[in-house]
Structure 1
Amino acid sequence: MLKIRKIAAIDIGSNAVRLLISTITEPKDKPVTFKKTSLVRVPIRLGQDVFTTGEISNYNQKRMLKTMKAFKFLMECHEIEDYRACATSAMRDASNRNELVETIKQQTNISIEIIDGEDEASIIAATDLHALIEEDKNYLYVDVGGGSTEFTLYIQGKTKASKSFKIGTVRLLNNGVSDELWQEAEQWVKYNTKGISRLQMIGSGGNINNIFKSSGKKPGKTLSYFYLSSYYQLLKSLTYEERISQLNLNQDRADVIIPAAEIYLSAMNWSRARAVHVPKIGLSDGIIKSIYNKIKD
């Protein structure tokens, strides 16, 4: 008997808010398949408020409420079985987060979980990342968001260390990252990767996905340090308007992609990785898997 489920993930990030709806097919005596049915992305950029003023502005509170109402209707139209809404760095740091979460709950009945960096890393680890990680190899997984970056070290197929740093693209654009924090991240990566030869890096996040797409490489191939460095120099040589017109970047991508490239290149330098895998997975995918595992349990 074939069983089909529809579940949804809401990812409330520092740069954008996303709704991912997935169709899960459970054929008898065959592996379960996950298919992305719909993905909606709204560039609210909560971090622009929070990392400069400490709270979410009235303007963006209204945009958030409108977005959640739209997500509620979309989930109803898709007849989803279950959902999970997770908020990350910007909402964690917002002084008025509780009031906004309560307003959204009252007006949309959507419950928002504010998760910490370690939760974020563990949710992402529940994705199909294991299909990429080979048990006889070592990897540094780097997930770059608008408000934070999560590092996870996999040794021989197992998690050895994980750490979240408040180093994100929107924070960097607003000069919200101190030299001391950069040094702390550098020391953590160097200490935990010391003595590991042939370490490979895995990158996730909208910016590295965009860079990979621009490379024209086929899925499964890696980006070299040379390519990433060259593309970073190209980005810096163009104005914001030129990055939109010549590289066909979205308005909310054309500025954050530069600090994102800086973070990935720094991580490669610190860990001595020469290439990065880009499997195109993220928090939304992990949320979907976490919901499905909960349903099955």
Structure 2
Amino acid sequence: MSKRIAVMDLGTNTFHLLIAEGNASDYKALVHEHDSVKLGEGGINKGIIQQASYERGIASMQKFGEDIRNYDVKNVRAIATSALRNASNGGQFINEVADKTGINIELINGEQEAEYIYKGVKLAGGITHQTTLIMDIGGGSVEFILGNENSILWKQSFEIGAARLMDKFHCTDPIPQDSICALNLYLEENLTSLISIASKYPVNVLIGSSGAFETFAELIERSKNNQFELNIKNYDFELDDLLSLTEKLIASSHEERRNTEGIIPIRVDMIVVASLVTRFIIERLKIPQVCMSTYSLKEGVLAEMMDTHQA
């Protein structure tokens, strides 16, 4: 009997719903929705979900609840991360969702989040025997997982997500040089444990998990007049292509980004700080090879729910 499950990844910027059946290594997606709720908008560094964001989040969960009922899914998990974890009214949001939809949201910590991201990226088949650093740039937090196909060597979640960094450093557009310097210094100070572990285990490959990395891949392929399909699981970057693209994005104006095909609205501004974080990691850790995985947290949860022995 094929198993039908629903996984929700309730992030700071986007709520995701995946309804799938089959087994983890070969599942069929019946519904794959992304809802740009911007839960962190206006309040991410104040530790509160603002009213408009709160209402968008509730409406999104009601819509997901309908999809789950329509597909008659009994096996359901909703995973919440940084924004709900740190918001003073996060508990209230969770209770209201349970009342209105019957969906029970699980709050997970950064360590669990990193674990699921590793499982998701591993499911996509992108991790090899080489020492690999997985990076998942969310709106509220960034997860780093160092390991290989056999195991995780080290993992940590940092509250330095794109929405937080944008709020702190990207107040003028294009982002000025002094803000770039301040952001780089902030990363240097906040990522000491990552820098230290990477000096012990030099990183051969960086895998960017979905999000901004999908945009990077799409923009590079479009610049070569290639059709980019997001139904792939993994993508290999040419390092020079990626670095010159991030340089261009960092120097661009809001208007230029908004008019660039391939940048979805939610990423028009966040792509700047995501580019700066990506550059910082590649250059600071001297990483020679960069890839992208379209699988992330929700696929890691899916792998666990479908009871595969691969995860």
TM-score, normalization by structure 1: 0.88
In structure 1, the residue matched to 2:175 is none
Amino acid in structure 1 at the alignment position of 2:220: S
What's 1:10 paired with? 8
C-alpha change, 1:159 and 1:198, in structure 2 (3 Å) is: closer
Considering only aligned residues, what root-mean-square deviation do their CA atoms show, in Å? 2.4
**Is the partner of 1:127 in helix, strand or coil?**
helix
State yes or no: 1:82 paired with 2:75: yes
When residues 128 and 141 of structure 1 are mapped into structure 2, their CA distance, relative to the original with a 3 A threshold, is closer
Q: Note closer, same or farther for the CA distance 1:23–1:141 as it changes in structure 2 (3 Å cut).
A: same
Counterpart Cα distance in 1 of 2:203 and 2:25: 34
Partner deviation per Cα, 1:48-87 (whole Å, 9 max, x = no partner): 2432432112222222111111101101111223111011
C-alpha displacement of 1:128: 4.9
Residue of structure 2 equivalent to 1:278: 292
Q: In 2 relative to 1, CA 185–201 (structure 1 residues): closer, same or farther, beyond 3 Å?
A: farther
Counterparts of 2:68 and 2:53, CA distance in 1: 22
**3-state SS, counterpart of residue 132 of structure 1:** coil
CA distance in 2, matches of 1:46, 1:196: 36
> Hey, what does 2:173 align to over in structure 1?
none
Say if 2:93 is the partner of 1:93: no
Match of 1:104 among 91, 97, 117: 97
- Report the equivalent of 1:68: 61
Superposed displacement of residue 197, structure 1:
4.9
- 2:259 alignment partner, SS class: helix
Q: What fraction of aligned residue pairs are identical, expressed as a percent?
A: 24
SS state at 2:136 partner: strand
Q: 1:20 aligns with which of 18, 21, 30?
A: 18
User: CA-to-partner distance for each residue in 1:116-147, whole Å, 9 max, x for gaps?
Assistant: 11010111222251632223x11111111011
Name the stretch that deviates more: 50-59 or 86-95: 50-59
Matched-pair contact (CA < 8 Å) for 2:204–2:289: no
Decide whether the 8 Å contact of 2:40 with 2:139 is kept in 1: yes
8 Å contact from structure 2 (residues 7, 302) kept in 1: yes
Contact 1:14 1:89 in 2 (8 A): yes
Counterpart in 1 of 2:246?
232
Report the alpha carbon displacement of residue 198 of structure 1 after superposing the two structures with TM: 6.2
Unaligned runs of 5+ residues in structure 1 are: 26-30
Moved over 6 A (4+): 176-180
CA distance in structure 1 between the partners assigned to 2:104 and 2:149 by the alignment: 38
Unaligned runs of 5+ in 2: 170-181
Distance 1:180 1:272, change over 3 A: closer
Whether contact under 8 Å (1:189, 1:271) holds in the other structure is no
So what's the TM-score if we normalise by structure 2? 0.84
Matched, 1:268 2:261: no
Matches within 5 A, 1:1-297: 3-25=1-23, 33-129=26-122, 131-135=125-129, 137-155=130-148, 157-175=150-168, 182-194=187-199, 196-197=201-202, 199-216=204-221, 220-293=234-307
Contact 1:6/1:22 (8 A) holds in 2:
yes
Deviation at 1:203, TM superposition (A): 0.8
CA contact (8 A) 1:72 1:110 kept: yes
Distance 2:90 2:235 in 1: 40
Mapped to 2, the partners of 1:60 and 1:134 lie a distance apart of: 40
Please give the alpha-carbon distance, in whole angstroms, between the structure 2 residues aligned to 1:248 and 1:212. Answer: 9
Tell me, what secondary structure is at the counterpart of 2:128? Answer: coil
Q: In the TM superposition, what is the alpha-carbon distance from 1:41 to its structure 2 partner?
A: 1.2
Q: Counterpart of 1:175 in 2: which secondary structure?
A: helix
Shift of the alpha carbon at 1:230? 0.8
Post-superposition Cα deviations, 1:216-259, rounded to whole Å, max 9, x if no partner, equal 28854421332222111221333222212233422211111111
Q: Which amino acid aligns with 1:209?
A: E
Q: Shift of residue 43 of structure 1?
A: 1.1
